Structure 1
């Protein structure tokens, strides 16, 4: 049996160890759903992805994304990390426009490749996002979580696009970074509204500071959230389309949990691109056998 290649990555990192970890099984053809899920549970990473030959027309490869407990259709850092791994493994090459096409549960998504080597940055076009509820839909749970918080210009909303999150703007960066939320109530909010949880953000000199609490999938705080930042960007682009953030900005995330993520947002013609740099931390093979 040929060795099965495996990489462990640091996605959206401003420095090594500052981003969101991701496991990628490069050669997952022939793996059953149960085998993938069992391996993802064992890695105990936020997500683990499995690369396969494409099935959809126009796609260069296919990525399946698993949390430790279930498969999900889309997430930002697994998408960027999977493309990084596929490029490094020689599975794909960008087209003349510098784009690779990844098939996942959210469809076939373009990923723009800029630069080479350690300086390479990848940008995924986030799925189209729509507002599916205002603050009133969050009920007492949302009101309780945000009680006493000075909110910013944009009102809280539930936004969907590949994933579904509550988003809320804080008026002050220092208040955002020092906030100690009620995680149990965020969990209740996520369950009651069928969302991942709550993302909060505040404006900074570079763009936004973001914190994400995906209690709906059992995570207290996420250090780097590509999909969530795509939803925030879409919400900002729709409701603040003439402001300083209208064409894009830089996100700082994860410092409150010992990380240092740098996520780059571009907004172009109504499309949101989410990107940044990825570091390969572990590059080897995996020996994972069926029970």
Structure 2
């Protein structure tokens, strides 16, 4: 049995309208020496959508490196873990080399995280896959969502690490009514569903994210930075919405997630609150 080490730990609520309204992420600081298996086991044990581990950076322009796990699966990038890890690192005494910007190394490269009071924002990484969704795959997604294909306004790959299949529905109300079921389609799924609220509404967009871990049951992520980042690129590029805008997520499962989308110098920035809720140590 591996020797147990007591390590600094934070649990951070990300993208909430207030504390405990958003998506929690577990953050293990000082994770040097942990094996891949130990990280996976702890990630599964937390039973959160993501768990992160902070390590020394391997490139000169990063303040630290993070490894991101969604239960058993390691991800090259994910949104709320990016903001949550930055907040945990700062809370533990981290000082960025560049004032006001944390440079976070992950599997997708070095991601800048800007600090603006209560709001942290990351620069959206480029998509790994975009374009149309295969007809057979879209048919399966339609069955999982429990809707007719005619209810889909558009669909697009929104893959920036997590391989989201993005589906745009007619409006926010239709998105909130969904009761998806993937029992007839075993396997790994990452499905993002979007719908616009009425003109001049705040928030402007309703978002829901459904995923499975292998052949496990379909779960709903409370608030999802990676999906919102790729969705913003898609919605803005197709002229369906302009930035800045505010997206809502989590309302269907009792959360009040709010994601701030801005566009500056050709880059999309995805921001929200990140509040440390639990601070202590973890033995692993």
TM normalised by structure 2 equals 0.88
Evaluate the alpha carbon distance shift between residue 148 and residue 180 of structure 1 in structure 2; reply closer, same or farther with a 3 A threshold. farther
Q: CA deviation at 1:5?
A: 0.9
The equivalent of 2:195 in structure 1 is: 202
Q: Aligned with 2:40: secondary structure? A: helix
| Structure 2 residue runs without a partner (length 5+) | none
For structure 1, which segment, 9-18 or 221-230, has the greater mean C-alpha deviation from structure 2 after superposition?
A: 9-18
Pair 1:60-2:63 in alignment: yes
**CA deviation digits over 1:41-66, x for unaligned, max 9?**
22121111111111112001111111
1:42-57 mapped onto 2 (5 Å cutoff): 42-57=45-60
Q: CA deviation at 1:216?
A: 5.4
TM normalised by structure 1 equals 0.86
Q: Distance in 2 between matches of 1:140 and 1:148?
A: 7
State whether residues 233 and 265 of structure 1, in contact with CA within 8 Å, keep that contact through their aligned partners in structure 2: yes
Q: CA deviation at 1:239?
A: 1.1
- Superposition RMSD on alpha carbons, in Å? 2.1
State whether residues 9 and 29 of structure 2, in contact with CA within 8 Å, keep that contact through their aligned partners in structure 1: yes
Q: Distance in 2 between matches of 1:136 and 1:9?
A: 39
Q: Distance in 2 between matches of 1:106 and 1:163?
A: 11
Evaluate the alpha carbon distance shift between residue 124 and residue 9 of structure 1 in structure 2; reply closer, same or farther with a 3 A threshold. same
| Structure 1 residue runs without a partner (length 5+) | none
The equivalent of 1:17 in structure 2 is: 20
The equivalent of 2:256 in structure 1 is: 260
For structure 1, which segment, 172-181 or 210-219, has the greater mean C-alpha deviation from structure 2 after superposition?
A: 210-219
Q: Distance in 2 between matches of 1:231 and 1:6?
A: 29
**CA deviation digits over 1:189-244, x for unaligned, max 9?**
x74xxxx421111112122011111135544211100001111111112211xx5x
1:182-221 mapped onto 2 (5 Å cutoff): 182-184=181-183, 187=185, 191=188, 196-204=189-197, 205-206=201-202, 207-215=204-212, 218=216, 219-221=218-220
The equivalent of 1:123 in structure 2 is: 121
Pair 1:136-2:139 in alignment: no
Equivalent of residue 78 in structure 2, options 67, 75, 78: 75
The equivalent of 2:106 in structure 1 is: 104
More helix by share: 1
